[in-house]
C-alpha cells in the first residue's frame, strides 16, 4: 500500500539497539577523564585500558597520608593529556605513582589514545613538586608523548625538590616528539632502562645505571651547562660545554655506575647533534 512503511513493529528499535551496541566502547575500557584523584586507587587489568585526560593524583588518603595510584602489571593507560603526580607547591597535598610491572610480569603501557598513534599525541607523566618518594616505575613503557604542555617538554618530567630519590627501573621510552626524560632539581635513579635524549638542569642529581641509550642526543639532549653534543658511540662519553672536549664530570652530579650501551651514533654527526652520555665516576 502506498505510504506504508516496509519496516513494521519493533524492528526500528532493534536496529537502534544494534547501532548503539556497535558504537559502544570496547568492553573493559575505563573512562577516567580529567580532574583530581584524591583517594588511593588501583588500576587492574580487568578495567584496562584506562582512558585519561588531564589527571592529577594528590591527596592525603590512606594510612601513610599520601594518595597513591597503583597500576598493576599488564595495564594499558591511554591519554590525550597528562598524568600529574602530587601538588604544585609545598603546602599542596602529596601524591604517588606505583607502576610496577614486576621483574618478569606483563609490562605496563602509557600511550596515546589515538587509533593511529603518533609522537606528541599526549604530554606524558609529570612528577610535580609534591610527588612522594614512594613513587616507583618498573617494567613500564612510555610512548607517543612529548606534547608541549610544559616548557622543554618530555615524556617524563621530574620536578620534585632535591632529597629522597625515586627509581625508574626497566622503563622503555619510545616515539617521543621531544625529549624522553627531563629532571630539574630531583634525585633520580634510572636503571636498566632504554631512552634517547634527556634534559638535565643544574640542580639535577641523576644516577644512570646499566641503561641503553638509542640515538643519544637526537633530538638534542641538554646537560647542566650546555647541549650534550653527539660523538661516535664508544661506550664512554660526557657532558661538556664544547663539542669534542675531553670528558670531565659536569655539574649536576650525573653518574654512570655500570657500563651502559650506546647505540645509533651517526657516522657524520653535526656540531649540535654529536652523541654524548653521562660521565663515568662523577660524584654527587
**Cross-strand partners of 41:** 69
C-alpha span between 153 and 146 (Å, rounded): 6
- Check whether 84 has a pLDDT greater than 60: yes
Q: Is 111 exposed, middle or buried (0-12, 13-18, 19+ CB in 10 A)?
A: buried
Parse the chain into domains and list their residue ranges: 45-195, 210-284
pLDDT at 214: 74
208: which residues sit within 8 A by CB, 6+ positions away?
190, 254, 255, 256, 257, 260, 277, 278
Q: What's the predicted TM-score (pTM) here?
A: 0.74
Concatenated DSSP letters of 47-112: GPSEEEEEEEE----STTS-EEEEE-TT-EEEEEEEEEES-SSTTSPPEEEEEE--SSSPPEEEEE
Please state the rounded mean pLDDT for residues 85-110.
Answer: 92
pLDDT at 106: 92
pLDDT at 219: 53
Query: What cell numbers appear for 277 in the block?
Result: 652520555
pLDDT single digits (tens) 3-36: 443 334 444 434 333 333 334 444 468 999 999 9
The three-state secondary structure class of 280 is: strand
pLDDT single digits (tens) 245-254: 332 233 333 4
Amino acid at each position: 500500500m502506498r505510504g506504508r512503511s516496509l519496516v513494521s513493529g519493533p524492528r526500528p528499535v532493534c536496529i537502534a539497539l544494534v547501532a548503539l551496541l556497535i558504537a559502544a566502547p570496547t568492553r573493559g575500557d575505563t573512562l577516567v577523564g580529567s580532574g583530581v584523584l584524591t583517594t588511593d586507587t588501583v588500576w587492574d587489568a580487568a578495567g584496562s585500558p584506562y582512558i585519561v585526560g588531564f589527571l592529577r593524583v594528590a591527596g592525603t588518603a590512606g594510612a601513610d597520608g599520601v594518595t597513591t595510584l597503583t597500576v598493576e602489571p599488564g595495564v594499558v593507560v591511554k591519554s590525550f593529556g597528562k598524568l600529574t603526580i602530587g601538588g604544585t607547591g609545598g603546602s599542596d597535598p602529596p601524591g604517588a605513582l606505583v607502576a610496577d610491572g614486576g621483574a618478569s610480569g606483563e609490562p605496563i603501557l602509557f600511550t596515546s589514545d589515538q587509533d593511529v598513534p603518533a609522537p606528541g599525541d599526549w604530554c606524558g607523566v609529570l612528577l610535580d613538586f609534591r610527588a612522594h618518594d614512594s613513587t616507583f616505575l618498573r617494567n613500564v613503557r612510555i610512548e607517543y608523548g612529548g606534547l608541549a604542555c610544559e616548557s622543554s617538554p618530555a615524556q617524563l618530567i621530574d620536578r620534585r625538590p632535591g632529597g629522597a630519590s625515586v627509581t625508574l627501573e626497566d622503563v622503555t621510552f619510545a616515539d617521543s616528539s621531544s625529549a624522553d626524560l627531563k629532571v630539574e632539581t630531583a634525585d633520580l635513579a634510572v636503571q636498566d632502562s632504554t631512552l634517547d635524549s634527556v634534559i638535565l638542569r643544574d640542580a639535577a642529581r641523576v644516577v644512570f645505571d646499566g641503561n641503553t641509550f638509542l640515538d643519544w642526543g637526537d633530538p638534542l639532549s641538554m646537560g647542566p651547562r650546555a647541549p650534550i653534543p653527539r660523538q661516535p658511540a664508544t661506550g664512554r662519553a660526557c657532558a661538556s660545554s664544547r663539542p669534542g672536549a675531553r670528558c670531565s664530570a659536569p655539574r649536576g652530579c650525573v653518574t654512570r655506575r655500570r657500563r651502559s650501551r650506546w647505540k645509533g651514533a651517526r657516522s657524520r654527526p653535526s656540531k649540535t647533534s654529536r652523541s654524548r652520555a653521562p660521565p663515568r665516576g662523577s660524584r654527587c
